[in-house]
Chain A
């Protein structure tokens, strides 16, 4: 069988080296590299049109050894476990509130990290399995193998045992997503964890330092604090870069008032281990960004959330000539998700200048496949995509931030309407009465059309979804005003 393998290999090299292959001699119509939100949506859609599809998905373990199953970041180490743990923290708060509503219990309420994590991982496991059933049922070939280009129309798939196989396809879809960035300082890979490790951590993280000010950093810091842990966030400059800064600051203020410590304008320069353990003890040395001040702190866990980098540098893109942005690793595509190589497409977080969100990747993947195989013409609309940040005080947004609106239309041409509100459910337990906030940004020159929607409060995601549809329809301030509110809900504001 070794001999047969060799013969097959040399036959494939002959095909690569000179003979142009006719489309029906490819192994597959479409090979998708990456089994995440974008990749799986595209693969399943292509199977509907009876195309021969293969999905390659492979997770390189983290420096701490964490790995996971089919489904990509969102399912395994992103949106899903994040929201579940955020919910766990909210329930802790609800338990406290419940006493004011008459619930009586004498025991102190404590949180068990292992119970929560096992339940979350069990659910994720059922999702991984569900995807495998869906692919198999739709006759999509799935291999748990690392895919990389080795030549035109040809990919090499290496499984975890190191066995290599070559496959050819008429078209390729790159959907490899991103992985957390490390600081590049002594001790970072040996001792620090990332979001890739957090959601399956087999022990409670304890006193945690979160490095970063991204939504990942703030969401993780938020739920860890909500579960009762001592949490500090170390921020290099501003919070939530790219988001409306007015809202970002309110989020930070709320977190501070609710027990999260912030160290502003410092970056770690060294992480050392004081004591081994699960968790152990780590010493972090940090330097000020504005002067020479050095500080030290001791934590059980250091969680790095300083950004994510596309997985595009080691998949052989140079072998087929696909251009990437050398600095960021992102792939520029046209408005049909096509790279500079006509038969290679890309979707999801790896795209340059596009939003890094699961529903965006899914939509882009599905529409792309419909255009390729079903004669459709609809392109993915990346404008007015709603988002939500699941910090302890949730933030939902759709459209322009105030800064971006001012920059695009000019301060004199926009009108901002805003309001604080106090959720009825917060009144009885005497929770903060001036923290929740909503604002809309209107374009005066266009009938006061609503071009930006921002809400800070409970269930922000649920509230924002409906408004996103309204904005897509071109709702104006007048139309919004004439819509009678539902009472008593936060959304009526």
Chain B
């Protein structure tokens, strides 16, 4: 069956999408918005994305990978934004296994070994 990717923007869309896939393993990568040229305002996200994408082939069958743009820099810096408040995100990029305490934050996302561990181990 393999795995599938879906891309969303903003908190509401993320929550709706996660609910839609309830029952399947859900992995999510949260990054800062990209400009017209496809560059994110978040330099660490630029570094992390290719590392994470390379490991997607290791996702368990039936998984869903949600690529989520959180918003612009101002929105992200607000300590009360919904991602911080409800999902307890502390930084971008964040890669997590939805519904579990398993996550990788910022530089941890640069390490292929850790990404692979998150995707493949319980």
Contacts and interface: CB of A to CB of B under 8 A. Distances in A.
B114 interface: yes
A129 B114 CA distance: 11
24 contacts: A122-B101, A123-B101, A125-B100, A125-B101, A125-B102, A126-B101, A128-B101, A129-B100, A129-B101, A129-B102, A129-B103, A132-B117, A132-B121, A133-B104, A133-B108, A133-B114, A133-B117, A136-B113, A136-B114, A136-B117, A137-B108, A137-B111, A137-B113, A137-B114
Contacts of B104: 133
Interface in B92-121: 100-104, 108, 111, 113-114, 117, 121
A233 to B, nearest CB: 34
Contacts of A137: 108, 111, 113-114
Contacts of B114: 133, 136-137
Interface in A112-132: 122-123, 125-126, 128-129, 132
Given A129-B101, A133-B104, A137-B114, 13 more contacts: A122-B101, A123-B101, A125-B100, A125-B101, A126-B101, A129-B102, A132-B117, A133-B108, A133-B114, A133-B117, A136-B113, A136-B117, A137-B108
A122 B101 CA distance: 7
Interface of A: 122-123, 125-126, 128-129, 132-133, 136-137
A235 B95 CA distance: 50
A417 B21 CA distance: 66
Contacts, number: 24
Secondary structure type dominating chain A contacts? helix
A126 B108 CA distance: 15
B19 to A, nearest CB: 19
A133 B107 CA distance: 12
Nearest to B111: A137
A344 to B, nearest CB: 29
A67 to B, nearest CB: 12
B24 to A, nearest CB: 20
Nearest first, the 10 closest Cβ-Cβ pairs linking A and B are A126-B101, A125-B101, A129-B102, A136-B117, A129-B101, A136-B113, A122-B101, A136-B114, A133-B114, A125-B100
Nearest to A129: B102
Contacts of B111: 137
Contacts of A125: 100-102
Nearest to A128: B101
Contacts of B102: 125, 129
Contacts of A123: 101
Contacts of B108: 133, 137
A138 to B, nearest CB: 11
A122 B113 CA distance: 24
Most buried by A among B101, B102, B111, B114: B101
Nearest to A144: B122
A201 B111 CA distance: 36
A128 B117 CA distance: 13
Interface in B71-108: 100-104, 108
Contacts of A122: 101
Contacts of B103: 129
Contacts of A129: 100-103
A103 B113 CA distance: 52
Nearest to B108: A133
A76 to B, nearest CB: 13
B7 to A, nearest CB: 26
A414 B104 CA distance: 56
A167 B62 CA distance: 34
Contacts of B117: 132-133, 136
A470 to B, nearest CB: 37
A123 B101 CA distance: 8
B93 to A, nearest CB: 15
A133 B102 CA distance: 10
A129 B100 CA distance: 10
A126 B114 CA distance: 15
A122 B103 CA distance: 13
Contacts of A136: 113-114, 117
A137 B118 CA distance: 13
Interface in B52-69: none
A52 to B, nearest CB: 16
B58 to A, nearest CB: 14
Contacts of A128: 101
A137 B108 CA distance: 9
Interface centre among A125, A132, A133 (most CB of B within 10 A): A133
Highest count of chain B CB atoms <10 Å: which of A128, A129, A137: A129
Nearest to B103: A129
B111 to A, nearest CB: 7
A123 B121 CA distance: 19
A180 to B, nearest CB: 25
Contacts of B101: 122-123, 125-126, 128-129
Nearest to A127: B101
B90 to A, nearest CB: 12
A181 to B, nearest CB: 30
Contacts of A133: 104, 108, 114, 117
A129 B102 CA distance: 6
Nearest to B116: A136
A126 B117 CA distance: 15
A130 to B, nearest CB: 9
B38 to A, nearest CB: 30
